[in-house]
Structure 1
Amino acid sequence: MTDLLQSLGLSASGMRSQALRLRHVSENIANADTPGYHRKTVSFQEDPDSGLVSTGPVRLDRSELQKIYAPGHPLAGEDGYYDGSNVDLVVEIADAREAQRSYEANLRMFDQARQMTQSLLDLLRR
């Protein structure tokens, strides 16, 4: 029974972590056209004692910002360029799809463990 309850906790921690990752991906997509915006990334950490997954600190991608030529833009310098964002929509959409699939896999594991726990409790009641 303890293993089943532990698997529920592991799956739930995975769902929480992927939900946070998807939130940051959504913020990146929403700010793709924001001048000076740096893409946010999140890493995952495993607790060695329990095996639970958690998110590490949110980091800003320090890659070079895209230079956009628009001489009439209020942020443009004397050369007519201003700093755009470093968000690549193709990468963000791929990250969103991966986070969604990982979330769904954890959800299926959670549901399987819940069903097994319910079956075990039904057997014990007899």
Structure 2
Amino acid sequence: MSNDLISSLSFAASGMEAQAMRLRHVSENIANADTPGYHRKVMSFERAMDTGLVEAGPVKLDRSELVRVYDPGHPLADATGHYDGSNVDLVIEIADAREARRSYEANLRMFDQARQMTQSLFDLLRR
């Protein structure tokens, strides 16, 4: 079987795995949007030098300033009645989730196309 077909399956699978990891972090961010002091998680993608496959980079915390919330009755409130909320913006998280989903679907289509081509090659070889 052609090495290019195997490589395309590997590339597509690595892209799907990386996007699935990204979706996990986005869902964690959304789940913790109301958690005081929570910093959203962000990640990047890296290309493995030896194989060229896509890998999820290290997960980092977004160090942008936390939102100050005024709620004097909250147990974490200071003397002024404020406490640190989270820096999760739901609009950004939803946009990131959509982008990750579309990238995942594109990799899935590429994987499926390579699988179909492999199956066609096997069918030709059987004849």
Task: Output the TM-score relative to the length of structure 2.
Answer: 0.98
Q: Distance in 1 between matches of 2:72 and 2:111?
A: 54
Output the CA distance in 1 between the equivalents of 2:101 and 2:45: 15
- Which residue type is aligned with residue 99 of structure 2? E
Deviations 1:8-47 (A, max 9, x none): 0000000000000000000000000000000000110001
How far off is 1:49 after superposition? Answer: 3.0
> Secondary structure of 1:56's partner?
strand
SS at match of 2:14: helix
Structure 2, unpaired ranges of 5+: none
In the TM superposition, what are the counterparts of 1:23-102 in structure 2 within 5 Å? Answer: 23-102=24-103
> Over aligned residue pairs, what C-alpha RMSD do you find?
0.6
Q: Stretches of 4+ moved more than 2 A in 1?
A: none
Tell me which amino acid in the other structure corresponds to 1:8: L
* Structure-1-length-normalised TM-score: 0.98
The aligned amino acid for 1:7 is S
Q: Which runs of 5 or more residues in structure 1 are unaligned?
A: none
What is the rounded CA distance, in whole Å, between the counterparts of 2:113 and 2:50 in structure 1? 23
- Quote the Cα distance in structure 1 between the aligned partners of 2:119 and 2:33: 46
Amino acid in the other structure paired with 1:60:
L
1:65 Cα deviation after fit = 0.2
Aligned residues between the structures: 126
